[in-house]
Amino acid sequence: MSLSYRQPGVVLTDRHFTVPLDHADPGGETIELYARAAVARDKAGQDLPWLVYLQGGPGFGANRFIGRQAWLDRALKDYRVLLLDQRGTGRSTPATRQTLPLRGTPAEQAEYLTRFRADAIVRDCEAIRPELTGGAPWTVLGQSFGGFCTVSYLSLAPEGLATAVITGGLPSLDAHADDVYRAAYPRIERKVTTHYARYPQDVERARRIADHLLTHDVVLPNGYRFTVEAFQSLGLMLGMSDGSHRLHYLLEDAFVRTPGGLDLSDAFQEEVQALLSYAGHPLYALVHEAIYGQGLRPTAWAAERMRAEFPQFDAAKALAGDTPVLFTGETVHPWMFDTDPALRPLRETAELLAARTDWQPLYDPARLAVNEVPVAAAIYHDDMYVDSAHSVHTARAIRGLRTWVTDEFEHDGLRTGAPRVLDRLLALAHDEA
């Protein structure tokens, strides 16, 4: 039974669905999906079209809005909105260090996780769409990885779509993970350089922290082994609109004087462990590189291997000279499965996924070339997480896609620029702008 309840200006309904684990085997094992349906309180009785939201990630549940926050306010003017917890996330059947052992061996866990990519998410949407819309196509809004899923949707089941809107999530159709990360490190370096130009005092602060971590064994309160590489990975924040400022405030309170000398403060360590831990979203670490897997080449820890091509990211070398310590970005590395207690039990599973050589294609260039679904995409000019050159190339390969290329926003433009971003993209898709 569906449960409905109210928040300011909106009526919410909990929805639960049962779908096949493997859509190629509809009579086989099933998993559960959870979604939260939202409709404006003054339109709850109206027959409105549906918009399904696909969250970024992979590995994150849909936004938990309070009332009509952010882009949801704009969407509710025209649609009923389905906030879907993609398989393995949120209140859908979870995939974590606690639940994956139920699958059996690491090899069986890895096999299970191959069914948690964009193609399966699209098939989930198609499985639940008839129950909600009566068979009518719906609009999809894909943010970041949700945009990757949307391009898969246009490839695999365009008949299910009335309109497609993508923000910061146009993937390369054919790039290997090596290509993705080889393009990523120069973008990351630019973001770090911009941060240090804004906050030059952080150059020395970062060097002091890196030096401390290279000369001390630091274990955070939750058991996380805080290495210099883990410290550098805090640069993930720099791709968001407020990330540079948040990183600055984090660094300025790093040390406290103790009877034994300067040490990393409890407050700093507490904040760092919240930023670094994958306990709430382990699927992100497990399948992040797998979202680029297509064909026979393994992803093989591409971000780690490509980092070796950019020696300026070596913190020890930076400290031996007079160059700034560079942060890194949205990259997953094998050492994370040693440092993070939430990932340690899954190390062998992750290794097997990295070595896999039978990934199915996620996109259909021939079908995209004759696309008839109205589609619009925001491309953020120097997006830290998704290469804008790759996105522009893909935009040209999707028939009828209209782009909005802008440097006004970072990767979180849908959140910070709402409702303007969604309003503009819907206008572009509907040929009203």
- Ramachandran quadrant class, 402 (left: phi over 0; alpha: psi -120 to 50; beta: rest): beta
Distance CA 144, CA 153 (A): 14
Q: Which amino acid is at 99?
A: T
340 as an active site residue: the answer is: no
Identify the active-site residue in 47, 217, 322, 358.
358
| 58 burial via Cβ count (<10 Å: 0-12, 13-18, 19+) | buried
For residue 292, give the DSSP letter. Answer: G
Distance CA 392, CA 372 (A): 19
Distance, first Cα to last Cα, the chain: 42
Distance CA 418, CA 433 (A): 17
Identify the active-site residue in 314, 340, 411, 412.
411
Distance CA 315, CA 327 (A): 9
For residue 398, give the DSSP letter. Answer: S
Place of tokens 């190629």: 24
Cβ neighbors of 32 (< 8 A, separation 6 or more) are 16, 17, 18, 19, 92, 93
Q: In angstroms, how far is CA 429 from the centroid of its own chain?
A: 24
358 as an active site residue: the answer is: yes
Distance CA 230, CA 213 (A): 10
Identify the active-site residue in 144, 152, 233, 277.
144
174 as an active site residue: the answer is: no
Give the residue numbers marked as catalytic: 144, 358, 411
